[in-house]
Amino acid sequence: MIIYNTSYLIENSMEKEFCEWMKTKFIPLLKETGTFSACYFCKVMVATKDEGLTYSLQLLFKNKELFTKYHGSFEPRVKAVFEAKYRSLVMSFSSLLEEA
């Protein structure tokens, strides 16, 4: 199992709008790729004092080949959609994890 985790740091004031957009627009767009078996969108429970809120989006891939297909064929397009909406408002970083 391959887990592709992207963490997003957002301002407190944009939490409701960001979560709504992720759930109704962005995650459905990701699901259209048909490459991952499950996804989780979670609020990180560790508070950062006055630094905003952190959310995590985890995509679970059955194998590395499906992740490679997503990464090469679909990720540039979905990242462009995200950047068009939140270019300077949201800081994000991604990590690729393998189930131990």
Q: How many CB atoms lie within 10 A of CB 18?
A: 20
Does position 99 have pLDDT exceeding 90, yes or no? no
- Nearest-5° angle of CA 16, CA 10, CA 84? 90
Residue at 77: amino acid letter:
R
Q: What is the pLDDT of residues 20-75, one digit of tens each?
A: 999 999 999 999 999 999 999 999 998 666 789 999 999 999 999 999 999 999 99
Bridge-partner residues for 10, per DSSP?
53
pLDDT at residue 49 in the model: 67
pTM score over 0.85: yes
